[in-house]
Structure 1
């Protein structure tokens, strides 16, 4: 895809250049300036070529990577094996030759050297040379030959050295051991040589076996990796194919979950969970649109009726009442639109300014601004409770809870604020003395456009969104909002919001 994008960009650049060329002065500038393709350096061109050669599939990359690692490991192992084998064979040859040279050196010290040294096991030839470079004795295959080494030892004692000797009439290398010892006639050097025929043959055989076996093993590894990777990625392809076919109208479909209990199975489970959330979100959105349309239809119809009546009634004295009703319905429409907009912002997870707030003062101020409520509000607020959040949104939570309590209370509304030290949360309770909330409906009241007493809620101006907005805002602040049982001696509704505590409020 990167290459296609680059190609399209180049093609687009060419078109632009052509168009500019036909435009007078602009064309002159285009002709004088180098395009991105023309300005590309050789290194950039080489990188583009490597990107084209790079395998694009996971299967191909895994096969190539495994083959490369195995090839490097086999090369290192083969070189190490050849090196160890050659070193071991050389060591054995040198040990045998050294033993023979030492034995002949002991004979030289004792003055019992034979004119012709017999061949022995472990040495293909023997030669004894004094410090003047004269050959004292040798094996039959070196009879009449000069010293095998032109430079002779000058230090008394025993000296060991190894060297390659050629030109002795053999097809293979010779490993020569030199032992220098002190005799009655001066320094004497004994040279014992052994053929490396067996070592060379073993090296050649091993190298040939590795030359045949390594490519076969490498091909086997590549084929096994390709096959295993293909089987491992088969569920991924099935997941991809299924997701590719799922449209916004097929969110009920799910990807297959393999019975392997591995990362791919967990990926499928996660994908299905995501599809569950998408389906739920889609259903919620469609339901929200349907409910919003239903809720908007009634006030719009009432508003239109009132306006038509105002136009049809010839009596000017009746018009103020009709216009007042129309204004009330307009206000209700405005409030409903504002609530819908706020819910849309919450659903979109729009960021909001977060600061440290004195929740006690925020609740006290929200209650103070409602002095004209139908039912008086009693407060019992703990001091110095600090939370982190948006002042506007947390004020909206308190206001919506008070609106709900005022809508259904008979004689009193109580607001309590305390700290739950064990949970590290601030607890806000709004309690009214109304009819209360049945246990079966304590979760349903937080659904959007839900009214337990629809007619009464409409009469009091409720839209069915207040508690839904309050819960969403509480959750947006990592808190909760629930309907809980009231005290036995205090019947009515009890709504409890819990918010995480923060540090001291900033002034």
Structure 2
């Protein structure tokens, strides 16, 4: 039986794997791995910068090497051609020495006649047969120069001339060893310099990108730690008016809005709970009294009161549902052209309170685009609010502002005015002012809030205006004008 224990290699492999897992679990190492991940902006930016610089350096280095190569070979070829012309001139004058002396830079020289016999040659080719081409390279003939005893990279120049003994061919070879060495050194230097430059660009880009993204990471960490219970926290805003500073400012603005929305939601829930608790308690008391009281007249009175409170609860629930729909969707129902003058007439004739006359002053008949049911609810809320607080009369004026392209609707009552400090509070949900404008006479405290929300959804505004005696709510809605005067004089509706 073999030994069942694991051998040393698997044990070592498991130890190394466990060690690597332990390193990966450390926060700093994990953060470094995250930063080095290909998906990180820092890594991609550094890689892109290095790739761009490397491509530019590669093209520039190749251009430099090619120009250097061309210049060096041009110089070597010019020297070999000059040597070949000197030898050809001596041969033409029948003064060709043997062996042929070589100038600096020339490796060999050989002169052959028309039959291929060697007439003269340099010392290193003495006794050698005539050179014959064995191929071409860069447009030049190549020769087997193994006879020189070493591998040579040379540029061979061939010149033909006439001599007293007949035409001869002069071949002079100039060594490219110096040019090749210079080219190799230049290539190596450019390679090293390019590598250093790419590495420098990578390091600088890595550090600069990390420094630039550090505020972004701080913003991300802070946002990740913000829960629904601590919306009062804010992200750090770096100094300067750059993109990151504007991002932090935008994030803080969003957090401000979220915090405000959360506060409004909690206050709304608390107010709604309070508003529902009182009528439910009264309703329960009335039903308990009606259930136990022996007098049928008292029971009937209690049941009638319970029905009134039930109506109020139903109205409050409907208003809460409408507000929830406005907050959740922002739009609902079909949109069509609505004749605001007809809408005002229909609203003035209806309503639960007919004791206060409504005087209509319809100078124009503007047409607005929107949900007719919601626009009708907006007008009904304004009229109900005016009738609730008016003492003797309610006036409704409708006109078209051609310069602004808006319909202007004023609903005025002659009841107690609203102090300037409270003119925005009346549009808040469940807001109580003084006794003169309380909700004890049947209002739910949501009508004006619903009216303003509907106006905003239709691109309009609703505000309180100063008037000498009473209160005016002015509604502005985008509309188109129909150039038709409303027939007749001001129309009282009761």
Q: TM-score range by the shorter chain?
A: 0.7 to 0.9
Q: 2:426 aligns with which of 425, 445, 451?
A: 445
> Does residue 459 of structure 2 align to residue 478 of structure 1?
yes
The Cα offsets for residues 350-390 of structure 1, whole Å up to 9 and x where unpaired, read as 54234231242433433344496332223333555333322
Q: Which whole-Å CA distance do the structure 1 matches of 2:351 and 2:162 have between them?
A: 122
Match runs of 1:341-380 below 5 Å: 341-360=321-340, 361-370=342-351, 373-380=354-361
Question: Shift in Å at residue 337 of structure 1?
Answer: 1.0
> Does residue 101 of structure 2 align to residue 118 of structure 1?
yes
Q: Which whole-Å CA distance do the structure 1 matches of 2:355 and 2:81 have between them?
A: 118
Q: Which whole-Å CA distance do the structure 2 matches of 1:424 and 1:88 have between them?
A: 78
Q: Which whole-Å CA distance do the structure 2 matches of 1:371 and 1:456 have between them?
A: 18
Q: 1:146 aligns with which of 105, 114, 129?
A: 129
Structure 2, unaligned runs of 5 or more: 1-35, 483-494
> Is contact 2:374–2:454 with CA below 8 Å preserved after alignment?
yes
> Is contact 1:356–1:502 with CA below 8 Å preserved after alignment?
no
Q: 1:297 aligns with which of 255, 274, 277?
A: 277
SS at match of 2:396: strand
Question: Shift in Å at residue 119 of structure 1?
Answer: 1.7
Q: 2:256 aligns with which of 251, 264, 276?
A: 276
Judging changes above 3 Å, is the alpha-carbon distance between structure 1 residues 357 and 146 closer, same or farther for their aligned structure 2 residues?
same
Judging changes above 3 Å, is the alpha-carbon distance between structure 1 residues 164 and 366 closer, same or farther for their aligned structure 2 residues?
farther
> Is contact 1:407–1:457 with CA below 8 Å preserved after alignment?
no
> Is contact 2:358–2:393 with CA below 8 Å preserved after alignment?
yes
> Does residue 398 of structure 2 align to residue 417 of structure 1?
yes
Q: Give the equivalent residue in structure 2 for 1:66.
A: 49
Q: Give the equivalent residue in structure 2 for 1:91.
A: 74
The Cα offsets for residues 415-458 of structure 1, whole Å up to 9 and x where unpaired, read as 22333233332222222222332222211111111233346533
Higher relative contact order (CA 8 A, sep 6+): 2
> Does residue 482 of structure 2 align to residue 499 of structure 1?
no
> Does residue 365 of structure 2 align to residue 387 of structure 1?
no
Judging changes above 3 Å, is the alpha-carbon distance between structure 1 residues 431 and 456 closer, same or farther for their aligned structure 2 residues?
closer
Question: Shift in Å at residue 191 of structure 1?
Answer: 2.6
Judging changes above 3 Å, is the alpha-carbon distance between structure 1 residues 493 and 176 closer, same or farther for their aligned structure 2 residues?
same
Question: Shift in Å at residue 262 of structure 1?
Answer: 2.4
Q: Which whole-Å CA distance do the structure 2 matches of 1:149 and 1:386 have between them?
A: 103
Q: 2:110 aligns with which of 119, 127, 132?
A: 127
> Does residue 286 of structure 2 align to residue 306 of structure 1?
yes
Q: Which whole-Å CA distance do the structure 1 matches of 2:133 and 2:206 have between them?
A: 61
Q: Which whole-Å CA distance do the structure 2 matches of 1:138 and 1:445 have between them?
A: 117
Q: Which whole-Å CA distance do the structure 2 matches of 1:164 and 1:274 have between them?
A: 78
Structure 1, unaligned runs of 5 or more: 1-52, 153-159
Judging changes above 3 Å, is the alpha-carbon distance between structure 1 residues 371 and 83 closer, same or farther for their aligned structure 2 residues?
same
- TM-score under structure 1 length normalisation: 0.77
Q: How many residues are treated as equivalent by the alignment?
A: 442
- TM-score under structure 2 length normalisation: 0.79
> Is contact 2:465–2:473 with CA below 8 Å preserved after alignment?
yes
Question: Shift in Å at residue 209 of structure 1?
Answer: 3.0
